[in-house]
Amino acid sequence: MPLYRPSELQNFLASLGIRPRKGLSQNFLIDGNILKKISATAQLQTGDLVLEIGSGPGVLTEHLLGIGCRVIAIEKDTLFAEMLTRLQNEEKALEVIAADVLEVDFVSLLKKKTHSWAKSKSRR
């Protein structure tokens, strides 16, 4: 279900019984063209590691995984963080961290992830 369509996103949010929370400044992508522009502007390619902050329902996350990126998604809203796991693929290219981005130790996180992903690539 393409959540970048407003009706699909509304149905998804309604199925969870939630609405965007102003306190978390939640705003969601509802334009598939913007997704394409983001990935084109960033010149993303298969295998790139992307750190996504505030993934929400996962519209951009799903797009990034679809083009072959590896994604670390940091989401403060625990319900959305839990829902993001539905996007996990066979390559295990998604890691979801349910946390406030201000409390994440990025140095340790990126060292761990780049090391483990480099290791998995060398085994292929």
Residue 37 within a domain? yes
Q: What is the pTM (predicted TM-score) of this model?
A: 0.81
CATH number at residue 74: 3.40.50.150
For residues 43-69, one letter each, b for 16 or more C-beta atoms within 10 angstroms of the residue's C-beta and e for the rest, the string is: ebeeeeebbbebbbbbbbbbbbbeeeb
Residue 119 within a domain? no
The total domain count for the chain is: 1
Residue 124 within a domain? no
Q: pLDDT tens across 81-96, in order?
A: 999 999 999 999 999 9
Residue 120 within a domain? no
Residue 34 within a domain? yes
26 is written with which tokens?
């939640």
Range of 27's domain?
Answer: 6-104
Q: pLDDT tens across 11-69, in order?
A: 888 888 877 777 766 778 778 889 999 999 999 999 999 999 999 899 999 999 999 99
Q: How far apart are CA 60 and CA 39, in angstroms?
A: 9
Phi-psi label, residue 72: left if phi above 0, alpha if psi -120 to 50, beta otherwise: beta
Residue 51 within a domain? yes
Residue 54 within a domain? yes
Residue 67 within a domain? yes
